[in-house]
């Protein structure tokens, strides 16, 4: 089978791998959709030696690793000892793209990415979804609701699921005004989902293409933080108070600081975007406002299923996130464009 491998420094290659066969507890999926996530750019851009360290996930340890951590497809083979997972050949499934020890307090409740005994991240440290097939533990599979497309499933497998998890973490309600910094795939998903949850959404991005998408997805107001004073603009839109909630999906220091400074007294800021750091004046920016700052890293296996149910029940147009659709052999073109960070989401589709 074919698989896309990042070589570092914005180079990639389509390599050949043996077709996977499932061992005990494992399933093989034929991939139908494999999404491109913003965090893939970290690996795509990484130096040629040990790029996976960029996200604090440890090295891949020897041998090329197939990229893509938003796998979605159909089960085509099951190994022995998979009966307990309730999956059958032919099922449409997503992958919860992490695997831990399988029996600690975090693995037990479906948060395998928090396992302290070492994790596999499919598409980063284990073979991912930019391929014809993927082999994963059957315990990582999450059913894809019948009404959702494979590409929607791929988005839910990281970007959209991450947005959903963050909105849950800050208990977004329909009474809230939320500012969402960064309208890449995660931020745009947050705009869509927060709108579906009834909140008033203010979306911020420096790219005009992404601000236009945010408007299409329900943002009431869009702001260009490159030219506007974002905290001042947010206060102006909220009777001088600042927003109730802010989500930073940009991962850049300026976005994080503006999120903190544009949020009201007693408000909550959630960090979602990865990379960089931020310096704040704790007294002025945090203490004197009784501010809550939390972080949210993706979602649990059951959280992924819950996101899928919400998207299906509320008819959230997740497919519309995808502005580019590719075949595997267009990988170079796909990542060259995604690297500009001006587009919506890209996805590799099998035909
Ligand atoms: Zn564990
Ligand atoms: Zn991701």
Phi, psi (5° rounding) for residue 58? 80, 170
β-bridge pairing 200-204 and 177-181:
parallel
* Residues whose CB is less than 8 angstroms from the CB of residue 330 and which lie 6 or more positions away in sequence, other chains included: 348
Predicted local distance difference test score (pLDDT) of residue 63: 82
- Per-residue burial over 307-323, b if 16 or more Cβ lie within 10 Å, else e, is bbebbbeeebebeebbb
Q: CA-CA distances (angstroms) from residue 157 to 97, 300, 330?
A: 7, 11, 22
In this predicted model, what pLDDT tens digit does every residue of 33-67 receive, in sequence order?
999 998 899 899 998 876 554 444 544 556 899 99
Ligand lying nearest the CA atom of residue 104? 1
Whole-angstrom distance, CA of residue 311 vs CA of residue 305: 10
Distance 328 CA to ligand 1 centre (A): 33
pLDDT higher than threshold 90 for residue 236: yes
In this predicted model, what pLDDT tens digit does every residue of 182-219 receive, in sequence order?
999 999 999 999 999 999 999 999 999 999 999 999 99
pLDDT higher than threshold 80 for residue 226: yes
Predicted local distance difference test score (pLDDT) of residue 227: 92
pLDDT higher than threshold 90 for residue 275: no
Average pLDDT, the chain: 95
Confidence of residue 276 (pLDDT cuts 50, 70, 90): confident
Percent of the chain with pLDDT over 70: 96
Predicted local distance difference test score (pLDDT) of residue 48: 83
Alpha-carbon dihedral of residues 237, 239, 241, 243, nearest 10 degrees?
Answer: -30
Distance 98 CA to ligand 1 centre (A): 11
Q: What is the mean pLDDT of residues 96-123?
A: 97
Q: Based on the number of CB atoms within 10 Å of its own CB, is 172 exposed (0-12), middle (13-18) or buried (19 or more)?
A: buried
Q: Which pTM value belongs to this model?
A: 0.94
Q: What is the mean pLDDT of residues 242-257?
A: 97
Whole-angstrom distance, CA of residue 204 vs CA of residue 337: 21
Confidence of residue 179 (pLDDT cuts 50, 70, 90): very high
* Residues whose CB is less than 8 angstroms from the CB of residue 171 and which lie 6 or more positions away in sequence, other chains included: none
pLDDT higher than threshold 60 for residue 15: yes
Distance 267 CA to ligand 1 centre (A): 33
Distance 284 CA to ligand 2 centre (A): 33
Ligand lying nearest the CA atom of residue 184? 2
Confidence of residue 344 (pLDDT cuts 50, 70, 90): confident
Predicted local distance difference test score (pLDDT) of residue 49: 72
Using an 8 Å Cβ cutoff, are 60 and 160 in contact? no
Distance 156 CA to ligand 2 centre (A): 10
Distance 112 CA to ligand 1 centre (A): 6
In this predicted model, what pLDDT tens digit does every residue of 305-342 receive, in sequence order?
999 999 999 999 999 999 999 999 999 999 999 999 88
Using an 8 Å Cβ cutoff, are 251 and 183 in contact? no
């Amino acid at each position: 089978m074919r698989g896309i491998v990042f070589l570092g420094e914005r180079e990639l290659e389509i390599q050949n791998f043996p077709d996977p066969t499932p061992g005990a507890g494992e399933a093989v999926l034929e991939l139908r959709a494999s999404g491109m996530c913003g965090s893939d750019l970290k690996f795509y851009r990484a130096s040629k030696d040990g790029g996976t360290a960029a996200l604090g996930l440890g090295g891949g340890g020897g041998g090329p690793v197939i990229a893509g951590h938003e796998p979605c497809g159909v089960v085509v083979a099951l190994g022995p000892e998979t009966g307990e997972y309730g999956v059958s050949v032919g099922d449409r499934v997503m992958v919860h793209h992490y695997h831990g020890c399988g029996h600690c307090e975090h693995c037990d409740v479906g948060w395998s990415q928090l396992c302290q005994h070492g994790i596999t991240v499919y598409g980063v440290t284990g073979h991912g979804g930019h391929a014809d097939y993927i082999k994963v533990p059957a315990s990582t599979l999450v059913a894809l609701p019948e009404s959702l497309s494979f590409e929607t499933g791929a988005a839910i497998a990281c970007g959209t699921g991450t947005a959903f998890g963050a909105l849950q973490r800050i208990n977004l309600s329909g009474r809230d005004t939320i500012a969402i910094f960064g309208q890449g795939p995660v931020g745009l998903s947050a705009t869509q989902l927060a709108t579906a949850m009834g909140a008033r959404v203010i979306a911020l991005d420096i790219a005009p293409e992404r601000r236009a998408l945010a408007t299409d997805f329900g943002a009431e107001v869009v702001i260009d933080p490159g030219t506007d004073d974002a905290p001042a603009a947010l206060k102006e839109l909220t009777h001088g108070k600042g927003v109730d909630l802010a989500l930073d999906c940009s991962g850049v220091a300026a976005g994080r600081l503006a999120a903190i400074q544009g949020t009201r007294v007693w408000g909550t800021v959630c960090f979602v975007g990865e990379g960089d750091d931020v310096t704040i004046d704790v007294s002025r920016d945090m203490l004197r406002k009784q501010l809550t700052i939390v972080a949210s890293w993706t979602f649990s296996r059951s959280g992924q299923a819950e996101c899928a149910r919400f998207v299906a029940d509320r008819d959230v147009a997740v497919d519309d996130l995808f502005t580019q659709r590719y075949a595997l052999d267009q990988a170079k073109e796909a990542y060259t464009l995604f690297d500009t960070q001006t587009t919506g989401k890209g996805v590799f589709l099998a035909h």
